[in-house]
Amino acid sequence: MRSYAAVDLGASSGRVMVGRVGPDSLEVSEAHRFPNRPVRVPEGLRWDVLGLYGGVLDGLRAAGRVASVGLDGWAVDYGLLDADGALLGNPVHYRDARTEGVAEQVWATVPAAQLYAATGIQYAPFNTLYQLTAARKTEQLMCSKRLLLIPDLLSYWLTGEQGTELTNASTTQLIDPRTRTWSYEVAERLGIDLGLFAPLRRPGDPAGVLRPEVLAETGLAGPVPVTAVGSHDTASAVAAVPATGERFAYICTGTWSLAGLELTAPVLTEASRAANFTNELGLDGTVRYLRNIMGLWLLQECQRAWGGPDLALLLHEAGSVPMLRSVVDAGDAAFLAPGRMPQRIAAACRASGQPVPRTRGEVTRCILDSLALAHRRAVADAQRLADHPVDVVYVVGGGARNTLLCQLTADACGLPVVAGPTEAAALGNVLVQARAHGPAGDLAAMRRLLARTQPLTRYAPRGDDAPWQAAEARLLTP
Ligand code: ADP
Ligand code: LRH
């Protein structure tokens, strides 16, 4: 058995996990977990990337001897470096308001339909392309010589080597999903300098070795290679969906719910664009065809507003609230920004003529019902738009621990749900490293190993579809 360290940076926490992989065994344990708290400074919402790097070093120290290290993290955001390779300022958080109204400027040059046909990426205000457009006239961008996406930035600090990992690069909206390389035309028309990006690398590629200073600081004995993995956390999580066939949908549930299908080619139709489905790149030539749903962010923000009550208690209270009394559109970008979430949810219910949830249990129930409904719509729409029917839905990520959400998702989709693993991104990260340093296994073999070794919970759909249909109709009626 060999050990691999997976650095997985989620929007709510970062962790360093150690995976031990043998021919018929796979175990993962947590070496270190650290909070990821956005910081609001006068110029806007920022990531504390130095704090995160400190957490990574602590985690590597706790992980001990490993055959390799891999890094994955949330998408779209980046750090800018000057000509000396020094970081210019704190990376901007994708929930920062700077991209408000920017899409319209971009579409005046490259219409939204052309952008989708070229990149396959759904509209989200925070796509790197819009962030770069928002930053166009800033001193910082004008002085910068290099842009590194967040996992690539931390990888650079660990190794001194720069690269742009492909799965995460696809979330910039500057990659053509058919050629799996830069969309030169889009970049040129929008005046985005692709020379800012380091050369592309693919999951499994070598990404350097830990610098001597990093070895000294973590107490590790060198050389320790760093291996490129699916550095978009969702790409790593999808790689770790323990599916045994091809007719499956997945939902990666954490801060976001990413719900969709794994395909072999992108879907670039106008109907797909209208339904806001994205074609992000996955492992081994796959496409992650999915929709972004606000996810457990809605609950995280309510918890923050309520002073951090116990999650188990909230879920228990939500369990005794009648189902589907009020639902909100959990895909609505109106919920993107932080702050006043219980009030914003109440306002959305009031505006759609539904009962306003008052207690914490009622608000939590409204969020879980709304997420399940959004999961239903995404799974159904993806099947229709990609002409790819499924028999089962895999739920992975932190939300797979939420038994009520998993059951409601099974009920809403009218399909069996298989929940787990909860640390899917870390497992996908570990397996790609293991594959790069050991006998090659394809994605199907990785998934068979996961299905054999990871604890999974099954939920059968209950009851009838009518209440879900009615709730869906309520949401779709203006
Ligand atoms: P991210 O990687 O986006 O930071 P995670 O995949 O770690 O997110 O998921 C975090 C979410 O998982 C939490 O906000 C919480 O709602 C849910 N979660 C974590 N642990 C539990 C638990 N024991 N029971 C129910 N839900 C949980
Ligand atoms: C989930 C995630 C998601 C992106 C969002 C910005 O952590 O990477 O796939 O859309 O963050």
User: What spacing in Å lies between the alpha carbon of 431 and ligand 1's midpoint?
Assistant: 22
Q: How far is the CA of 400 from the centre of ligand 1 (A)?
A: 8
Report CA(307)–ligand 1 centroid distance (Å): 17
Q: Is 72 in the active site?
A: no
Instruction: Name the pTM for this structure.
Output: 0.98
| Ligand lying closest to the C-alpha of residue 8 | 1
Q: Is the CB of 297 under 6 A from ligand 2?
A: no
Return per-residue pLDDT of the chain as tens, 478 residues. Answer: 899 999 999 999 999 999 999 989 999 999 999 999 999 999 999 999 999 999 999 999 999 999 999 999 999 999 999 999 999 999 999 999 999 999 999 999 999 999 999 999 999 999 999 999 999 999 999 999 999 999 999 999 999 999 999 999 999 999 999 999 999 999 999 999 999 999 999 999 999 999 999 999 999 998 999 999 999 999 999 999 999 999 999 999 999 999 999 999 999 999 999 999 999 999 999 999 999 999 999 999 999 999 999 999 999 999 999 999 999 999 999 999 999 999 999 999 999 999 999 999 999 999 999 999 999 999 999 999 999 999 999 999 999 999 999 999 999 999 999 999 999 999 999 999 999 999 778 999 999 999 999 999 999 999 889 999 999 998 877 5
Distances (CA, A) of 390 to 158, 181, 325, 383, 427: 41, 30, 29, 7, 24
By most ligand atoms within 8 Å of CB, the mutation choice from 8, 12, 396 for ligand 1 is: 12
What pLDDT does 307 receive? 98
Contacts of 469 (CB under 8 A, 6+ apart): none
Per-residue confidence (pLDDT) for residue 162, from 0 to 100: 98
Ligand nearest to the CA of 236: 2
Q: What are the structure tokens assigned to 146, written together?
A: 């290099």
C-alpha pair distances (Å), 50 with each of 35, 92, 123 = 13, 13, 30
Give the atom of ligand 2 at the shortest distance from the alpha carbon of 233.
8
What is the pLDDT at residue 478?
58
pLDDT for residue 129: 98
Whether 255 lines ligand 1, by a CB cut-off of 6 Å, is: yes
Ligand 1 within 6 A of CB of 356: no
C-beta separation of 7 from 72 below 8 A? yes
Q: What ligand 2 atom has the least distance to the C-alpha of 74? A: 8
* Ligand 1 geometric centre to CA of 297 (Å): 9
**3-state DSSP of the chain:** CEEEEEEEECCCEEEEEEEEEECCEEEEEEEEEEECCCEEECCEEECCHHHHHHHHHHHHHHHCCCCEEEEEECCCCEEEECCCCCECCCCECCCCHHHCCHHHHHHHHCCHHHHHHHHCCCCCCCCHHHHHHHCCCCHHHHHCCEEEEHHHHHHHHHHCCCCEEHHHHHHHCCEECCCCEECHHHHHHCCCCHHHECCEECCCCEEEECCHHHHHHHCCCCCCEEECCCCEHHHHHHHCCCCCCCCEEEEEECCCEEEEEEECCCCCCHHHHHCCCEEEECHHHCEEEEEEECCCHHHHHHHHHCCCCCHHHHHHHHHCCCCCCCCCCCCCHHHCCCCCHHHHHHHHHHHCCCCCCCCHHHHHHHHHHHHHHHHHHHHHHHHHHHCCCCCEEEEECHHHHCHHHHHHHHHHHCCCEEECCCCHHHHHHHHHHHHHHCCCCCHHHHHHHHHHHCCCEEECCCCCCHHHHHHHHHHHCC
CA distance 403 to 405: 5
pLDDT digits (tens, 9 = 90+) for 434-457: 999 997 789 999 999 999 999 999
Structural domains of the chain in order of their starting residue, each with its CATH number: 2-233 (3.30.420.40), 241-420+441-478 (3.30.420.40)
| 127, 171, 229: residue to mutate for ligand 2 pocket, most atoms within 8 A of CB | 171
Q: How far is the CA of 75 from the centre of ligand 2 (A)?
A: 5
Indicate which residue of 8, 96, 176, 233 is catalytic: 233
Q: Say if the ipTM goes beyond 0.85.
A: yes
Instruction: Identify the pLDDT of residue 439.
Output: 79
Ligand 2 pocket mutation, candidates 77, 231, 232, 233, criterion most atoms within 8 A of CB: 233
